[in-house]
């Protein structure tokens, strides 16, 4: 029986795509992710950060980065907060499906660090508050996924 699980891996080229909408929250997510990458021995030269206007723009940039084959993992960071209209549902659906499509089409982990919350307080609780830090968790998930994929047969 062969067990495949995440093992420590050497740092690699990684990209983070950050939405600038709700920038106070997304900046906190990015700061946590950058700090965690440095803790995991990534250098500044191994980290690419791309900023986009909003969450809906994330999948297109993820696709371009994945097609470049320069990165072993992508992390997407953003926040979509429910409002009074159905706009929230459309944005969440498009962003999540777009990121999944990029991951499957290009064989690269796209770690979904886009918060989808009912209100601003829930979002703040997930970027260093009572519900942890999703930017940090996204980095750990990216590293684990690269490790697992490296162990799978081609």
- Report how far residue 45's alpha carbon sits from residue 139's, in angstroms, rounded to the nearest whole number: 16
Pairing state of beta strands 132-133 and 110-117?
A: unpaired
87 is catalytic: yes
Question: Beta strands 132-133 and 127-129: pairing type?
Answer: antiparallel
d(CA 87, CA 80): 10
Calculate helix-pair angle for 23-39, 134-151, nearest 10 degrees.
50
Q: Which of 87, 106, 131, 133 is catalytic?
A: 87
Cα 129 from Cα 97, distance rounded (Å): 27
3-state secondary structure of 6: coil
Residues with a catalytic annotation lie at: 87
């Amino acid at each position: 029986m062969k067990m495949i699980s995440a093992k420590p891996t050497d740092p690699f080229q990684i990209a983070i795509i950050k939405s600038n909408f709700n920038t106070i929250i997304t900046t906190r997510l990015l700061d946590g992710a950058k700090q965690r990458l440095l803790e995991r021995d990534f250098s500044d030269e191994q980290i690419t950060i791309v900023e986009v206007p909003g969450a809906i723009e994330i999948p297109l940039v993820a696709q371009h980065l994945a097609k470049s084959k320069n990165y072993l993992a992508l992390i997407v960071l953003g926040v979509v907060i429910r409002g009074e209209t159905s706009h929230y549902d459309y944005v969440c659906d498009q962003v999540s499906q777009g990121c999944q499509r990029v991951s499957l089409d290009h064989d690269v982990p796209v770690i979904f660090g886009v918060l989808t919350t009912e209100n601003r307080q829930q979002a703040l609780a997930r970027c260093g508050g009572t519900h942890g830090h999703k930017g940090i968790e996204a980095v750990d998930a990216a590293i684990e996924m690269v490790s697992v994929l490296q162990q799978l047969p081609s």
